[in-house]
A and B are shown apart, each in its own frame.
Chain A
Amino acid sequence: MKKKATVAVLLLAALLIALIPLFALRGAEFGGSDDAAGDVVAEVNASYEPWAAPVLETLIGGELPGEVESLFFCVQTGVGAGVIAFFAGRFVERRKWQRASAETPAGAKQE
Chain B
Amino acid sequence: MDVFEPVAGVESAFRPWLPSSSLIARDEARRYSVAEGAAAVRECFRHLQGSEWFERVAAFEAPVSRLGRPDLRVTDLAPAVEALASAAGDSCDSVVLHRSLSRLRYILDRCDEEARTVQEHSFPIRSANDISLARECALRLARQDGFSLMNATYVATVVSELGRNILHYAGEGNVRISAILKDDGVTCDAIRVTAEDHGPGIPNLEVILSGSYRSKTGMGLGLLGSKRLLDEFQVKTSPGGTTVTGLKYAPGH
Q: Do A and B bind each other?
A: no
| Interfacial residues, chain B to chain A (CB-CB below 8 A) | none
